[in-house]
Structure 1
Amino acid sequence: MNLPTRKRTRPKPPVTRGPAFVRQGNEWAIYQHLLDLAPASSPQLAETIGLSKVTISAALNNLERLGLVEQSGVRAGNAGRAPRLYAPRADAGFVVAIDVGAEWIRGALADLTGRVVARMDKRTPARVARLVAQIVELVTTMLDERGIQRDDVLATVLGSPGVFDPEKGRLRLAANLPGWERTDLISSLRDALGADIVIENDINLAALGEQKHGIGRGVDNFVLMWVGTGIGIGIVTDGKLHRGAQGFAGEIAMLPPAPSGADTLPATRHRGLFEAQAAAKAIVAHAHRLGLHVASAEDVFAAAHAGDRRALECVADEAQHLAWALASIVPILDPTLVVLAGGIGRNGTLLLPRIREYLSERLLMPVPDFAISTTGTDGVLLGAIEQGLDHARRRAFERLGY
């Protein structure tokens, strides 16, 4: 028996087209332009966006009524009636940014204009079981100090070593924070700070922070090389952060080591050989082998600045390791600029001359410009704020029924 066949059709999502759709699109566009131009008048916005003054005025009035925009004065100096100036209402929502490192947990609270209204650091606890509680305590303290309700936090972005695996709900390659790869930690963070918390690689966020607030402003193609307790790169191509297919782009800790001294390094599955050779612990271990008794890589660089021969040898060795990695990275990515960041990277004045020399001798192409990060220890937080702002602003609109 042949049953009649019926053509299967896909369910079509509802599409709204009409005055309401156009009005909401206009208001979102006006709000986005106002973020860049504020304070701005209705005529100024009309000229910039290309909409009529009547449309702009109506949209601004509605945005003001909804609490997303506010008047900020009048523009003086013009003949006739002075036009009113408008700006986004900063406290219509907030972004929480968190940077979890091996030694410090750093937090920042920013309003919808990106202005940081609270900032706090806490030591990373020795026991991972205490880590989530420390993060929650830091966020709660910042909110309480500013009298901000948790419901007014529209985005939370956490920067962490490693790569977040969304399928398994856990971090990978986060060996510098022992126990941080446990599957229950992310779920605990979501329970405490909201299910929509964004987990992002800290070096990727540092690259975003450098692009928006640091030496990377206006540079469409650059690499941020972070060297500290761990090592990795953040990649910006055509003005956008490059994460790769699975988020592992830039994880150069997994590279094989530079040829010199490779036989002295233990092979481990969870800690890349290159990181074991070029990150902070390796520098301290090298100094100890030379008879220089120091407690940290920072001490090694301080001794090098003071002219200690053994410390200078350690610095030269570190520069060669970094240059070896860059000799592979630069021909592939062809960046305009390489930015050194992190506790070790910030000592670029000692490292860069040797890195440039190494690359100049080995690359059959122009060597990119080099610079030291100008965002200091706040690079990850600044990047987390930037990533959170777009989400928070959209949520601010969604809360009002858009």
Structure 2
Amino acid sequence: MTQIDAGTSTWLRARNDRAALRLLLQHGQLTRTQLGELSGMSKPTAGQMLTRLERAELVHRVGHVSGSRGPTAVSYGVRADRLTGVAVSMHAETIQAVVVDALDTEHPTVDIPVTGVDRSPEQDIRAAIEAASRAAQIDAKTVAVAAVGVQAAVWRDRDGLSLTDTLPGWPAEGARARIEAALHVDVTLENDVNLATMAERASGVAQHASSFALLWLGDGIGVGVDLEGVIHRGASGRAGEIGYLPLVEADGPAGRTDTTDLLGGPAVVALLEGEGPARYADRVSDLAADPSAIGILADRVALALDPVLAILDPAMVVLGGPTCRAAGESLSALVASRLSAAAHPELEVQLSDIEVSPVLLGARQVLIEQIRTRLEARIPVD
């Protein structure tokens, strides 16, 4: 962006135009009069701002508003088709993806099977962008950014990934650079549980918590840590990777030594009564009707959380992921009771109430901010 001297007419004009764009993003469609009232500018100045933004193809005329007196007024809105992004959630057998725009418009989420497919970072994300763009009926050429949730530890400074069991074909280093070079989009790689943690802070049960830890239980497990609104990732991105934390379960089956052995997908299936499919995805919903399994699960969750709480002492614990969602409120109540008895009497334990994919929701939030910042940067400065 061109450097502008503060206080000059050019600086003031660019500052006003950015303020106008932000107001349109915040409030939606506005007339010249409404923009003037919200910005504190006169109607002529508001009209000039809209004219410049329209000339830059950042806003367009979207309709007319009839008032009680006088002629109808033209309403303006931000153009969502100028620049878009794609939020991606990588799973072992599928890729989920959805288009994101500056207005946070709801677009269809697509599921792309990847079992038996040759994999690489660039191939996976290309497939995600193309499928999501088709579903949203947008031009894939408008996609400039992507936020990708991976089941791995992400060392951002080194473009490194570790614990990548569900990412065949992805290298330990350089995945982001490869995607960007091949697809000409800017990419944010983030641990999936960290993205889910961002979603909990923004729109979940932890919105008002000073700090919280999200325990995610699915096929794999992890902890997301939010300290006063900031995600704690650790020096190499491994903060919260408790799946390999050694534990000893009292009276537990022999050979179970870490949290994944106690709380991962196969362990949950083993707890369930009756005959049924062995795949976690096919059985996890049965938890709701199995109070015995939920009771054992609560014991194991409390055991896994104990070292986390001893180090972090968060104000809240959020239980998320398919296992916790399937077990429901009874699991959170039992966990709260067990932790209270184990010297954590003031700790609040909540079940996540986010219905849609928290990973995609967190990725959307990352992208909306990036897209809006990029749109502001396109405002002319001369």
TM-score, with structure 1 as normaliser? 0.80
Instruction: Provide the residue aligned with 1:389 in structure 2.
Output: 368
Residues 1:140 and 1:351: Cα distance change in structure 2 (over 3 Å): same
Q: Which of these two proteins has the greater Rg computed from alpha carbons?
A: 1
Tell me, in whole angstroms, the C-alpha distance in 1 between the residues paired with 2:332 and 2:200: 19
Of stretches 257-266 and 117-126 in structure 1, the one that deviates more from structure 2 is 257-266
Residues 1:31 and 1:184: Cα distance change in structure 2 (over 3 Å): closer
- 1:231: how far off? 1.1
Long gaps (5+) in structure 1: 1-12, 267-272
**Per-residue displacement from partner, 1:346-365 (whole Å, max 9, x unpaired)?**
12424223212101212344
Describe the SS at the equivalent of 1:92: coil
Residues 120 and 168 in structure 2, CA contact (< 8 A), matched pair in contact too: no
Residues 258 and 321 in structure 1, CA contact (< 8 A), matched pair in contact too: no
Tell me, in whole angstroms, the C-alpha distance in 1 between the residues paired with 2:68 and 2:314: 47
Instruction: Provide the residue aligned with 1:354 in structure 2.
Output: 334
Instruction: Provide the residue aligned with 2:46 in structure 1.
Output: 56
Letter in 2 for 1:361: A
Residues 97 and 111 in structure 2, CA contact (< 8 A), matched pair in contact too: yes
Q: State yes or no: 1:264 paired with 2:261.
A: no
Residues 1:342 and 1:44: Cα distance change in structure 2 (over 3 Å): same
1:91-170 equivalent positions in 2, closer than 5 A: 91-126=81-116, 129=119, 132-144=122-134, 146=136, 148-170=138-160
Report the number of matched residues.
Answer: 377
1:290-309 equivalent positions in 2, closer than 5 A: 294-298=277-281, 300-307=283-290
Long gaps (5+) in structure 2: none
- 1:33: how far off? 2.2
Of stretches 291-300 and 355-364 in structure 1, the one that deviates more from structure 2 is 291-300
Residues 232 and 250 in structure 1, CA contact (< 8 A), matched pair in contact too: yes
TM-score, with structure 2 as normaliser? 0.84
Of stretches 247-256 and 30-39 in structure 1, the one that deviates more from structure 2 is 247-256
- The equivalent position to 1:284 in structure 2, one of 258, 263, 269, is 269
Instruction: Provide the residue aligned with 1:196 in structure 2.
Output: 186
Describe the SS at the equivalent of 1:115: coil
- 1:100: how far off? 0.5
Tell me, in whole angstroms, the C-alpha distance in 1 between the residues paired with 2:102 and 2:197: 21
Tell me, in whole angstroms, the C-alpha distance in 2 between the residues paired with 1:365 and 1:35: 43
Instruction: Provide the residue aligned with 1:86 in structure 2.
Output: 76
Describe the SS at the equivalent of 1:91: coil
Tell me, in whole angstroms, the C-alpha distance in 2 between the residues paired with 1:364 and 1:390: 37
Letter in 2 for 1:296: R
Q: Indicate the RMSD between aligned Cα atoms, in angstroms.
A: 3.2
Instruction: Provide the residue aligned with 1:235 in structure 2.
Output: 225
Instruction: Provide the residue aligned with 1:321 in structure 2.
Output: 300
Describe the SS at the equivalent of 2:341: helix
1:64-75 equivalent positions in 2, closer than 5 A: 64-75=54-65
> Identity over aligned residues, as a percent?
28
